Structure formats: C-alpha cells, structure tokens
Structure 1
C-alpha cells in the first residue's frame, strides 16, 4: 500500500520547475530560475490554498503585465483534455494555480476569463475560480451556464452545478443565485437526467446544499418534478435528500419511499 501524500506537498519547488519549463517553451522571456527560487522559498510551511496563491502570484510577477497576453500563454500549457471523469486533482492538480490566476486577476476581463475557465475545467476544475464571477455578475454567468448545461463535455456540465453550490467544500459559502433557491433549481432541472455519474453526484450534492438553505422549497420542487417526470433518476433524489432523511423529515422520507 502506497504512503499517503498530502495534496499540498505537490505545490512546491518541483511543481514550479514543471510550470516554468512548460511556460518557457511558449514564452522564452520567462525567467525560470527566479520563478522557481521565489516559489520554493515562499511555499515552505504553508498549507494548500496558501501555496496555490503563492504560485499564482509569482506567475503574475513573471508573466507579461497585460492580463490578456499572460492568460494566452497560460492557456497554451493546459495540455490535453481529460477524457475520463477521474484525475481532476491527481493528474490535473498542476493547473490549480492557473485557475487561481484567473480567479484572482481576471475579473476585469469577464468574457475572456469565463472562456478560459471553460478550457481549464476540461482538464482540472474551475468550480472555485468561477465563484467571484458569480458574485460580481450573476446574470452574465447564467448566460454562459445556459450554453454549458448542454455541452458535450461532462466536466463543463458539472461546472454549472458544482460552481454554483452554496456550500461547496474548500470554498467560501455563497448564497443561492440572486438570493433565490429557485434560480439554482432551474439550472439543476436541466441536469437531472444527465447520463454522467460525475454530474449526477454534483447535482445531488447541490440539492443537499439547498435543503440546508430552504428545505420546504426544495421538497416542493422535487415533489413536482417527480409528478411530471416518469424517467427520473432516483439516486440523485435520494442522495440529494440525505441530510433531511437523517433529520427524519417526514416530507423527505415520503419522497424517498416514493422513488425507491
């Protein structure tokens, strides 16, 4: 059995070397030695999020000052798309600082940054990067979501659900979209029949989040959904109501008995 290695351990001088080599091939002016030295000295004794921030900030210092030019370089190092529904962190972890770069520095370039997240999430994830954008301009993000929700790539469809979760793990809690749970439910309704287990799990987790915000609204929505859809996925509903079931909520228990 292999020894457990904390994820934060990957964000060190070795990752700085890997990123520097990738970037230098597309941007020869990139000062690899300075970048690696700065990252290696600053990440020591820091936890995961702080290490990612260090690397992203150091990238900012070593790339062109123009965001559009810097982002164009970073998008060239993304590598091939992840064709599976695994490895988002085990194989795509090296892109976490790139996603954070977009999260931290791209808000003044909204469309450019959302299109970058679209590409990043096919290899890693943009579920954290997109949250400041949701807060800054929910309507603009929703316009993108209406396209992404039908995207052939399951990672992109998952981003619609996972990125808008009110209680996404590792992320700051955010309110429901436009402070109305119904906005979240309208998005999720389009994913309730998704063929991807990866997306299904996200939808169930999102529903579970919403039951902690406004349980009766969610239960009423699910009850109506069941009455109008014969080909529903019972696993999504059962998993989505798990917290209410643990609390022995009678309405939730009734729905679970109905779909089992």
Structure 2
C-alpha cells in the first residue's frame, strides 16, 4: 500500500517544474529557472492554500503583465476535459494555482474570467475562484448561472451549486446570494432532479448549509417542493436536512419520513 501524502506537498518544486514546462511550450519567453526557484523557496513551511496562492503570485510575476495575454497562455495548458466525476484534486490538482490566478487577478476582466472558470472547472474546479466575483457582482454571476445550470457538463452544473454554498469547506464563508436564501434555493430547485450523483451531492450539501442560515425558509421551500413534485430523491432531502435531523427538529424529521 502506498504511503498517503498530504495534498499540500504536491505544491512544491516538482509542480513548479511541471507548470513551467507546460507554460514554456506556449510562451517561450517564460523564465523557467527563476519561476521554479522562487516557488521552491516561497512554499517552504506553508500550508496548502498558502502554497497555491504563492504559486499564483509567482505566475503573475513571470507571465505578461497584461491579464488577457497571461490568461490566454494559461488556458492553453489546461489539458483535456475530465470526462468522469472523479479526479478533480488528484488529476487536476496542478490547475489549482491557475484557478487561484483568476480568483486573485481577474476581477477587472469579469467576462473573460468567468469564461476561464467555465473551462477550468471542466478539468479541476472553480468553486473557490468564483466566490470573490459573487461578492463583487452577484447579479452578473447569476446571468451566467442561467446558462451553466443547463450545461451538458456535470462539472459546470455542479459549479452553480458548489460555488455559491455559504459554508463551502476550505473557503471563506459568504452570505446567501443577495442576502436572501431564496436566491440560492431558486438555483438549487433546477438541480434537484439532476441526473448526476456528483451534482446531487453538492445540492444536498448546499441545502444543509442553508439550514444553518435560515432553517424556516428552507423547510418551507422543501415542503412545497415535495408537495409539488413526484419522484423526489430521498437522499438529497435527508442529506440536506442532516444537521436539523441530528438536532431532532420535528419538521425536518417529518419531511424525511415523507420521502421514505
């Protein structure tokens, strides 16, 4: 059995070499040695998120100063789309600094950056990158979501749910969209019957987040949803209400029984 290696240790000199090779093939002026040496020094004694941010910052210093040109180079190294619903962090982990680059430096190029997230999430994930954009302009993001929520790619549909979760693990908490859980619920309603278990799991986790924000609104919404729809997936309901069920909330327990 191979020894478990914490994910943070993948963000070191070896990753810098891999990124440098990919980038230099698209941008011959890339100073490979300088980039690799800087990453090797600056990631030392840092945790995962700090390492990813360090690499994004060093990328910024070694790519063209024009964000559009820099992003165009990075989009050429993304590689093939992930056709499965696994491997976001195992096969696509090397793209974490690319997503962080968009998260940190792209807000003045909103549409370009949202397009980049759309492409990145098909290989890795943009669930963290999109959060500052949601805070800056949730209406503009919502316009994109209306298309993404119907996308044929399950990674893109999942991004609508996972990226807007108020309590996404590893991420800074954000309020419900426009400070109203109804906006989140309106998105989730379109994903409740999604054919992808990967998307369904995200929807359930998102509902559970919302029960910690406004349980009464979520319970009322779920009651109506169950009453109005046939074939409700009990796993989504029960997983979505797991915190309330654990606390013996009577209405949550009743809704759980209704879908058994």
Normalising by the smaller structure, the TM-score range is: over 0.9
- Residue by residue over 1:67-117, the C-alpha shift from the partner in whole angstroms, topping out at 9 and shown as x without a partner, is 000000000000000000000000000000000000000000000000000
Spell out structure 1 runs of 4+ moving beyond 4 A: none
Q: What is aligned with 2:71?
A: 71
Cα deviation 1:197-226 (Å, max 9, x = unaligned): 000000000000000000010000000000
Number of aligned residue pairs:
260
Matches within 5 A, 1:104-123: 104-123=104-123
> What is the distance in 2 between the residues matched to 1:51 and 1:252?
41
Q: Deviations over 1:52-73 (max 9, x none)?
A: 0110000000000000000000
Counterparts of residues 165-244 of structure 1 (less than 5 Å)? 165-244=165-244
Q: CA RMSD in A?
A: 0.4
Deviation for aligned residue 1:233: 1.1
Give 1:4 shift: 0.9
Is there any run of 5+ residues in structure 2 with no aligned partner, and where? Answer: none
Q: Which residue of 1 aligns with 2:48?
A: 48
Cα distance in 1 between the residues matched to 2:179 and 2:168 = 16
Unaligned regions of 5+ residues in structure 1, if any? none
Deviations 1:204-254 (A, max 9, x none): 000000000000100000000000001211110111000000000000000
User: Aligned ranges for residues 149-160 of structure 1 at < 5 Å?
Assistant: 149-160=149-160
Matched, 1:35 2:74: no
Partner Cα separation in structure 1 for residue 4 and residue 97 of structure 2: 22
After TM superposition, the score normalised by the length of structure 1 is 1.00
| Partner residue, 1:247 | 247
Query: What is residue 145 of structure 2 aligned with on the other side?
Result: 145
* DSSP-derived class of the 2:107 partner: coil
TM-score (norm 2): 1.00
Which whole-Å deviations, capped at 9, do the CAs of 1:16-67 have from their partners, x for residues lacking one? 0000000000000000000000000110111101100110000000000000
Q: Which residue of 1 aligns with 2:131?
A: 131
For 2:245 and 2:99, the matched residues in 1 are separated by 36
